[in-house]
């Protein structure tokens, strides 16, 4: 029995070490990538099949930009568990609010009729509609309420300080409207896989993420075409380019990936290629240690 116990302890230690190892010079490859494109890269990835984790600058704060919409929408879904009528509630729109948001591709169509809370959630996730996000923040009771929801699911780094589009300023060193890649990856895993939301709410969030329309050249571009992806992008000043995703390889356990990239000049262009390239490197690293993902990638 003592031998079995020692073997079990050894296996646990090995797994813990494996889970936090960057395989095959991945750290160097990611460093080369961020230096090539003159920015700061943060990655957190989780393979739920074998619990392998890949972290790169994962505990550093990054401006989350529109990836934060996942937190606001999830907070709404949480409230709807106790208030089934909430998602059907209609909110009115004003031209001034649409203009002030800076980006209202869906909400502008409903200026006269208003939109349901569910419609606003859909617009915020699938089309990154800023006016929809601002209305959801208002419904929740302000930016502090979104931060409080993040705390309720264990995210100690997320802080929403401003509304759209000001939250996208992404000023280097400014902690407003930031979180860490690791915290965001763990939060996304809890929201899609865990019991932070009841099953109908989880399924609704998953559906909105899968039908996102803004990410074809980011995480989508770094994974095999046959895989299912649900994600939320974010873009801001200083070339900030983000994407967080749940990824379903064919017939394998899902992956969770958060990739954040920000640059040093305010007018720098966002670079989708960095997100796609980083995703490919992470997927290749997972393939080396997971036969199912290896087979699924062919």
Distance from CA of residue 235 to its chain's centroid?
12
Helix/strand/coil for 282: helix
Beta 255-263 vs 178-179: how paired, if at all?
unpaired
HSE-up (13 A, CA, CB side) for residue 147: 15
What lies within 8 Å, CB to CB, of 235 at 6+ separation is 65, 66, 168, 241, 242, 270
Backbone angles phi, psi at 167, to 5 degrees: -65, -10
Helix/strand/coil for 170: coil
Provide the token pair at 192: 């899609």
Of the residues 31, 44, 66, 215, only one is catalytic, namely 66
HSE-up (13 A, CA, CB side) for residue 190: 19
Q: Does 66 qualify as catalytic in the annotation?
A: yes
Which residues are tagged catalytic?
Answer: 66
């Amino acid at each position: 029995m003592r031998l079995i116990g020692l073997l079990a302890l050894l296996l646990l230690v090995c797994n813990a070490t494996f889970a936090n190892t960057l395989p095959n010079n991945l750290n160097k490859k990611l460093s080369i990538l961020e230096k090539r494109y003159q920015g700061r890269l943060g990655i957190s990835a989780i393979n739920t099949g074998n619990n392998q984790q890949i972290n790169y600058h994962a505990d550093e704060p990054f401006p989350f930009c529109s990836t934060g919409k996942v937190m606001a929408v999830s907070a709404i879904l949480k409230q709807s568990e106790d208030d089934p009528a909430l998602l059907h509630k209609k909110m009115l729109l004003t031209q001034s609010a649409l203009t002030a948001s800076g980006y209202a591709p869906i909400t502008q169509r409903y200026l006269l009729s208003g939109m349901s809370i569910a419609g606003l959630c859909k617009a915020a996730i699938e089309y990154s509609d800023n006016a929809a996000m601002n209305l959801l923040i208002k419904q929740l009771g302000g930016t502090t309420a979104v931060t409080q929801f993040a705390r309720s699911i264990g995210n100690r780094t997320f802080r929403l300080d401003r509304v759209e589009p000001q939250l996208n300023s992404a000023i280097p060193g400014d902690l407003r409207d930031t979180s860490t890649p690791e915290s965001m990856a763990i939060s996304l895993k809890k929201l899609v896989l865990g019991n932070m939301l009841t099953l109908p709410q989880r399924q609704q969030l998953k559906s909105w993420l899968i039908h996102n329309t803004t990410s074809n050249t980011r995480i989508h571009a770094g994974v095999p075409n046959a895989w299912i992806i649900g994600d939320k992008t974010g873009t801001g000043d200083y070339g900030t380019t983000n994407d967080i995703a749940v990824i379903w390889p064919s017939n394998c356990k899902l992956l969770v990936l958060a990739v954040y990239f920000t640059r040093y000049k305010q007018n720098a262009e966002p670079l989708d290629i960095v997100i796609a390239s980083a995703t490919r490197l992470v997927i290749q690293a997972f393939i080396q240690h997971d036969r199912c993902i290896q087979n699924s990638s062919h």
